[in-house]
Structure 1
Amino acid sequence: MRRCTSALSLAVLTTGLLAGGQPALASTTAADAIGGPQLASTGLIVQAGVKAPPKTKANSYVIADAETGEVLAAKNPHGKFLPASTMKALTALTLIPKLDKNQTVKPSRAAVNEEGSAVGLVPKPIYKVHDLFRALMMVSGNDCANALSEANGGIPATLADMNAEAKRLQANDTVAKTPSGLDKPGQSSSAYDLALIARAGLQNKDFREYISTKTAKFPAPKGHYEIGNHNRMLWTYDGMIGVKNGWTSKAFGSFVGAAKRDGHTIIVSVMRHEESFWKDVEELMNWGFANRGKTAAVGALVDPLPPAQPSPAPSAPAAPVPEGNAAVSEPVAPKRENSGMLATIVLGGGLVAGVGLLGWGIRRKRRQSPTASS
């Protein structure tokens, strides 16, 4: 059923559905939706009169211009879903500034034995933080997520840092319960938040290196072995930069990625895709590149919150004036804090298409949980 809202210059073309055919509920009202009131919709959101993006089996997606921050089209962008391994993008973005990339790490046995996808760590001090970040983003190492968390003071401390970073980015649909993205009650994210996180990550040189590396040598007790990026679009899609894909049996498929063409970058995020999402992502990216600069935005990827300003220290009490002294101290006007308006920036982008040859990665064989993240 088609419904046009002329005041907002957008068309709502479909109704978002959760698993089992249940309607997806908007996480916010139009009045306070992060990124603009149109993004509160649970359906497909696109400017009226513009050909809609290709159909997809994803329950939620966002197509955005990375340079301007404009959201070009979306479907249920604030719907909350299990993120699977796309959560690792937040893990990396949070920990890269906090850890010395040349620090040597000895993973615990608990980290080494984490279920699901793994690079195959051993409990020996043979890894640099840099190695672990590469394997985290290239082969989706759950063991690396835990080892990096240990280097940051432990998993609880890291989750606190991740959730604080999400709030700083205004990714308010995101709650981290595991640094790897393995399913856990209460964990969530949204297509909008994944796009916010990816956009912030693209501004970090090390983050960009980790997500775009196709193959790399990884330390082993005797020498090294080669790992390959699981994002197959790095091999098949023109201009692909990378970011992160994920899957669990509860979350289904999730993806967030960016590609650059002709000086413009397009970000696409999808959540809860019940089949292989690669072709759909290609077509959504192609639509973004084709329509960038030709369609009005339906929302925006917002800027991070400004750093909190420390409260001014209380002034010392004035010294008493001796009797008979005519001097009177002038009252001091109180300081006023400037509450800055948060600017919304817009990114520029392009679309991605790509079928893929599968990125390969060496994983240590281990028993996999049916909900393990890939």
Structure 2
Amino acid sequence: PDPRPPGGAQAASPQRAVLYRSGTQVRPRPGAPGVPDVSALSWVVADAGTGDVLAAHDAHRKLPPASTLKTLFALTVLPVLPGGIRHEVSAGELSGIGPGSSLVGVVEGGTYRVSDLWNGVFLNSGNDAVHVLASLTGGWRATAARMQAEARALGAFDTHVRSPDGYDAPGQVSSAYDLAVFGRAGLRNPDFARYCAKVDALFPGQDGEAYGIMNTNRLLTGADGVRPYPGLIGVKNGYTSNAGNTLIAAARRDGRTLVVTVMNPQEGGGHAVYEEARALLDWGFEAGDRVDPVGTLVPASARPPQGPEAVPATVTTARPPRDEPGWPETGAIVGVAGLGAGAVAFVLRLKLVRVERG
């Protein structure tokens, strides 16, 4: 059976309901190119400017996201951590990193700028960097709860956060739709957009030396025989044995920016995720205005009323079930968030200065 949107199919707009149908959804006009045949379990092609979904396949299918979930982590944590802060890493901040995790090389006793750690997250997909950044904003569980609240605020209802770094955890899922929402939101944040577009950077090593790191998004770098995509501006790739290969990719051409998400290709090996994203981006740019949207990435609460019969409506905030792990913490943290990012950053500055001096 088709999955139902939050609140039931009757509560959904016609466009929203289309994206909950199984199979490929597209509304071509005469002369539109055919949608490419790709093997991914789920994918979305969307216009980052308007939020229009141009085509999708099982857009709301809940699947493990792997490190593409780090986009939601960044959306949640970037605004409250000034990049210039320096922090000495403790052993406790590196505890609990999952076996086989991708690492950038953060070491106990090392001192790093927050901006260095973000390079480690975006370029090297470093779970060690995620753990340290999460510790600076309340800890692992609190960060997961804040990410859950952020996902809901963005209208991403398929995402359930259990491990902020994207490491496989029971019950942790997202969807191609939600990942597209995160990618689009990230591109609107200048810091996020700058980090996700970096090809390489220097990362602090021991004894004052630094070493080079390169973005693992091969569609951006052209590494390992993957042709770089013209106009690519990020966003994030991921892989775990449970999730397979996942990717959020954004590209700009002739004044238009597209966001494509690809989850777990079933054919073609480890580089298939890049080639399938390439095919979908090519299709999206070629299709242009010759397709009608099948949905939108814009949350219902953020969309203006449509049509002459539109009247003001009461906006209610959708909430996850009360028995969902992390919801009590989410409520508390959202309340504290009302103080503003500036207040949080000020508290962090005090904390970190004490760490460095002590």
| Pairwise CA distance, 1:234 | 1.4
TM-score under structure 1 normalisation? 0.73
Larger radius of gyration: 1
Matched with 1:26 is 3
| Pairwise CA distance, 1:123 | 1.1
1:332-351 equivalent positions in 2, closer than 5 A: 339=314
Matched with 1:301 is 297
2:33 is the alignment partner of 1:58: no
Q: Which runs of 5+ in 2 are unaligned?
A: 222-227, 303-311, 318-358
1:282-297 equivalent positions in 2, closer than 5 A: 282-297=278-293
- The alpha-carbon distance between structure 1 residues 48 and 341, as it changes in their structure 2 partners (threshold 3 A), is farther
| Pairwise CA distance, 1:253 | 1.0
TM-score under structure 2 normalisation? 0.76
Q: Which runs of 4+ in 1 moved over 3 A?
A: 29-35, 48-52, 110-113, 303-306, 337-342
- The alpha-carbon distance between structure 1 residues 154 and 304, as it changes in their structure 2 partners (threshold 3 A), is farther
The partner residue of 1:181 within 152, 166, 169 is: 166
Matched with 1:246 is 238
- Tell me if structure 1 keeps the 8 A contact 2:301–2:315: no
- Tell me if structure 2 keeps the 8 A contact 1:27–1:79: no
Q: Which runs of 5+ in 1 are unaligned?
A: 1-23, 307-336, 343-374
The partner residue of 1:47 within 22, 27, 38 is: 27
Matched with 2:82 is 100
Q: Which has the higher helix share?
A: 2
- The alpha-carbon distance between structure 1 residues 59 and 89, as it changes in their structure 2 partners (threshold 3 A), is same
| Pairwise CA distance, 1:284 | 0.5
- Tell me if structure 1 keeps the 8 A contact 2:28–2:292: no
Whole-Å separation in 1 of the counterparts to 2:174 and 2:34: 24
Whole-Å separation in 2 of the counterparts to 1:125 and 1:102: 16
Residue 133 of structure 1: SS of its match in structure 2? helix
| Pairwise CA distance, 1:26 | 2.2
- The alpha-carbon distance between structure 1 residues 32 and 340, as it changes in their structure 2 partners (threshold 3 A), is closer
| Pairwise CA distance, 1:52 | 3.3
TM-superposition CA deviations, 1:145-177 (whole Å, max 9, x none): 111100111101101110010010010000111
The partner residue of 2:257 within 262, 265, 289 is: 265
One-letter code aligned to 1:201:
G
The partner residue of 1:129 within 109, 114, 124 is: 114
Percent identical: 40
Whole-Å separation in 2 of the counterparts to 1:33 and 1:106: 49
Whole-Å separation in 2 of the counterparts to 1:33 and 1:279: 33
Superposed CA RMSD: 2.2
One-letter code aligned to 1:40:
Y
- The alpha-carbon distance between structure 1 residues 141 and 27, as it changes in their structure 2 partners (threshold 3 A), is farther
- The alpha-carbon distance between structure 1 residues 46 and 200, as it changes in their structure 2 partners (threshold 3 A), is same
1:132-171 equivalent positions in 2, closer than 5 A: 132-171=117-156
